[in-house]
Structure 1
Amino acid sequence: MSLGGCAARRNEAEGSAVPVKQKANHPSAQKTEAVACASWIAGLQQDIEALVEPYDGSTSVYAVALDPQTFASLDGEVAVAPDARRVAASIIKLPILACALETVTAGELSLDEQITVTQQDIVGGSGNIQSRGAGVSYGIDELLHAMIAQSDNVAANLVIGRLGMDTVNETCAALGLTQTVLARLMMDTEAQAQGRENYTSARDAAAVLQRLAAGTIATPELCERARGYLLAQEDARGIVEGVPGGVLVAHKTGSLANAQHDAAIVYAERPYVLAILTQDLEREQALALERDISFAINARAHS
């Protein structure tokens, strides 16, 4: 079975294969497969706890099985400190994306709307928009793609400026993201010095991806477009390293000096969402742990 029982079609606009839902099989067969899918991931709890245990509470993991037909979340899960509030790094861009999609769905924002970069908007860190300088205009669609695929900080700040920080936080509350807060712009060191920080949890990061996978956070078309952004992610470390070639991974990474995170929809034979948030580990140590957790879960997803 490929793509977790889902079909794949070529999205010509994005230039990537985007998983789409298959037609449902007979209900009884679908229910049997869903139950099996839920139980396989729950059986991994002890294995994942053993991988995380040596790192003394520095790591949060949340994984949930998805229905192979509809990509709706099932009951089976793996949870290790899933609600521990962690410094979000660029994982905060997931709820920003969710807010943008909801705003477009509500008719209050267009993907074609243009925003022009000013000199004040230029910040460092990841992304290419900073190198193109001020005076260049970008559509919301371009900014969202850059914010996710390249983790572009200028793009993220422009989107936040258009939506409003309060609106993003209202979206987080409405989605039940209890540990997530957007308190500063990207690369705002002055805000950091004042103690303002962005936070999230493994469960919250996974929750956004669960809704994107199922196509329920916005219109199905917008959710598919957003999954295209995630599939175009340029950072191929962490979770991706634990997944065999040919398996699609739609994910968002995030890193700071003291944090290394990854959250993904993995289109294995038994698809699932996996979020791993690490704190106060060396970067390579954190990436190796993410890879090992990913490998353990993916091996069972194909067995």
Structure 2
Amino acid sequence: MKQLLAFMLMPFCMTPLHLFSSEKNVEWPNEMQYELSSNAATAAFYFDTIPNNPNLYSSTPVYKNSSLTVVSKTIKPNSKITITDFLINDDLIPVFMLADGTYIEASHRLIYDDIVYSKENVDLNYWLKDNFKVYNQPLVYGSKEVKSSLTAYTQIHLTEKAVTEQGVYYKVSGKGWISEEDLSAEDNRMQKVQNLLTQKYNQSNYSIFVKQLKTQKSAGINENTKMYAASVAKLATLYYTQEQIQNGNIKLSDKLKYTSDVNSFKEAYNPSGSGKISKTADNKEYSVETLLKAVAQNSDNVATNILGYYVAKQYDNDFQTEIDSLSGMKWDMKERNISAKAAANMMEAVYYQDGKIIEYLSATDYDDSRIAKDISVQVSHKIGDAYDYKHDVAIIYAEEPYIVSVFTDKATYDDITKIADDIYAVLK
């Protein structure tokens, strides 16, 4: 344009000066003067064409006159703006004329072209956050929010990515467009579990801890509160025995003799409690496998005592150091005051062993109540009962396995079942 203008002016420049009257001023059109005086900074600051879908960054005045001196009104962002003309005013400022005859400065600091800047195909899986919105197109002026069957904390497949002035948006095929701010690259369902526990089960007689094994994310209510754990404490005996098997120190076929000593060391369970093995010493030999099954499936007190006496060496320092480290607390096999979180940590250690006790804990005498009652996938769990305390700690083999530990005081088995069912509905 500037080259063309210079070419047009050449005849005037080459004409002798005496042909022009010194008393006559030549007035160039505003557009020509602006073109001659503009530079790269001007071009970056002002529009040079009418935008396709104009929008405002903030509330902005419009004027009655093109010189922009008399304010007519103020218009807000996301208002309908119809531009009918583009001109340069007498102050050489680019101005847009609107359909109602008012004027606005054609400045990039006030106005932007609210369009999709770029689009590309993608193949991504993300998780929806809470309070997300779905639009009929990437968010620009004129986009509309649409109803959707999508639900928060579920995984969705994304097929397109678009960039607008409002941000980055992704398309869910057949559903609509969602802001990247409403998406999580990581599984975020534990946030929903935490909301559930906080809103529904935040009671002083509940100690609940949930942990996804893949993401290591967790949720809980009073999870560090200690309660009398009863038979849940036997998880430590099961773990330690399994470890000795895997380390080659003992075998499942090894025999251990049931003498009166196994029921008399200070950490021993009362032999008259749960289980099917004789309550009094019979001097018979029981295989390690038989004892493990009895502890895991029947919560047998005597079987626990035999393993504790011989394999864990009456819960010596080696046992105590390892169990304390795994559980994250002092795991007292005599007092048995343990938190739901510590029990979950212990069950997680059992999960990573992936030994025979997982099989035994998946087929117990207590599968028709508490955590395992209604859940359709494999559940490996250890229960505990004493006085008003009723507990259950489990590995739930959902698509992404997780641990749930529920300790209760003055609650029912059905209460535990309901808690487990609600959590499973989120994490299944």
Cα 1:121–1:37 change in 2 (3 A) is farther
Q: Whole-Å Cα distance in 2 between the matches of residues 213 and 240 of structure 1?
A: 17
- TM-score, with length taken from structure 2: 0.52
Where does residue 240 of structure 1 map in the other structure? 372
Where does residue 117 of structure 1 map in the other structure? 258
Q: What amino acid is aligned across from residue 371 of structure 2 in structure 1?
A: I
Deviating more after overlay: 87-96 vs 131-140: 131-140
Where does residue 213 of structure 2 map in the other structure? 66
Where does residue 227 of structure 1 map in the other structure? 358
RMSD: 2.6
- Out of 211, 214, 220, the residue aligned to residue 352 of structure 2 is 214
Q: CA deviation at 1:96?
A: 1.1
Q: CA deviation at 1:130?
A: 1.6
Q: CA deviation at 1:155?
A: 0.2
SS at match of 2:201: helix
1:13-162 alignment, distance < 5 Å? 38-53=187-202, 55=203, 57-67=204-214, 74-119=215-260, 121=262, 123-130=271-278, 134-162=282-310
Higher helix share: 1
Higher strand share: 2
Where does residue 3 of structure 1 map in the other structure? none
Is 2:423 the counterpart of 1:278? no
* Equivalenced residues, count: 240
Cα 1:131–1:101 change in 2 (3 A) is same
Q: CA deviation at 1:93?
A: 0.7
Q: Whole-Å Cα distance in 2 between the matches of residues 37 and 138 of structure 1?
A: 48
Q: Report sequence identity in percent.
A: 24
Is 2:396 the counterpart of 1:263? no
SS at match of 1:265: strand
Asked whether the 8 Å contact 1:88–1:254 carries over to 2, the reply is yes
Is 2:321 the counterpart of 1:170? yes
Q: What amino acid is aligned across from residue 138 of structure 1 in structure 2?
A: Y
Higher relative contact order (CA 8 A, sep 6+): 1
SS at match of 2:220: strand
Is 2:346 the counterpart of 1:199? no
SS at match of 1:44: helix
Runs of at least 4 residues off by over 3 Å: 28-33, 35-38, 119-122
SS at match of 2:355: helix
Asked whether the 8 Å contact 1:51–1:289 carries over to 2, the reply is no
Asked whether the 8 Å contact 2:326–2:349 carries over to 1, the reply is no
In the alignment, structure 1 segments of 5+ residues that lack a partner are 1-27, 68-73, 184-196, 216-222
1:132-186 per-position Cα deviation (integer Å, ceiling 9, x unaligned): 9613211112111111111000000001101221243222123243142212xxx
Cα 1:113–1:278 change in 2 (3 A) is same
- TM-score, with length taken from structure 1: 0.71
Q: Whole-Å Cα distance in 2 between the matches of residues 205 and 269 of structure 1?
A: 22
Q: What amino acid is aligned across from residue 90 of structure 1 in structure 2?
A: S
Asked whether the 8 Å contact 1:38–1:76 carries over to 2, the reply is no
Q: CA deviation at 1:209?
A: 1.9
In the alignment, structure 2 segments of 5+ residues that lack a partner are 1-122, 128-154, 156-183, 264-270
Asked whether the 8 Å contact 2:370–2:416 carries over to 1, the reply is yes
Cα 1:37–1:214 change in 2 (3 A) is farther
Please say which structure displays the higher CA radius of gyration. 2
